[in-house]
Amino acid sequence: MHKPSFSNAERIWQVVALIPPGKISSYGVIADLAGLPGRARYVSRALKLANDELNLPWHRVLNSQGRIAFDKQTEAFAEQMMLLRLEGVDVKNGRVDKTQYMWQPDMATLVMQLSF
DNA sequence: AACATGACGCGTC
DNA sequence: GGACGCGCCATGT
């Protein structure tokens, strides 16, 4: 077997980087798109591990209910809500309307944009 | 090798 | 809605 070109974390980062401004996705969906079904938890871990200089749009990743995953009273929560609002996403009570904002990428385009 | 971590998801009550 | 249990598993120590 060949050594994989990218680690699981790197693949997750690649997918997150594709979420367009004004749209959101979820940990579970990102895991699926990265070829890691059932590993939503690893997406959160990978985001925590990511270098700031990657400039990932981490704020566009919410939980499966469209809610910000951080506790309401944390700095991270406030920052994520601010970043989302800056790009026009309506956040109410730490939650966004998934039917309105969920990123629904075209598969063919997605495949072309990913390196793995 | 064993163990804890992790910004999760889903079903059930 | 909320609380709880369980599945998930790469990574770091």
Per residue in A61-116, pLDDT (tens digit) is 999 999 999 999 899 999 999 999 999 999 999 999 999 999 999 999 999 999 88
- Does the domain at A8-99 match CATH 3.30.470.10? Answer given as no
Q: Decide: CB of A33 under 7 A of nucleic strand B.
A: no
Q: What is the mean pLDDT of residues A34-51?
A: 92
pLDDT band at A4 (very low <50, low <70, confident <90, very high): confident
Which residue ranges make up each domain of chain A?
8-99
Nucleotide nearest to A31 (CA to C1'): B8
Measure Cα distances from A100 to A14, A37, A39, A91, A107 in Å: 23, 24, 25, 12, 19
Confidence tier at A53 by pLDDT (50, 70, 90): confident
pTM of the entire predicted model: 0.94
Closest-lying nucleotide for A40 based on CA to C1': B8
Answer yes or no: is A36 CB < 7 A from strand B. Answer: no
Strand B positions with any atom < 7 Å from protein CB?
Answer: 5-10
A31-69: buried (b, 16+ CB within 10 Å) or exposed (e) per residue? bbbbebeebbebbbebbeebeeeeebbbbbbbeeebbbb
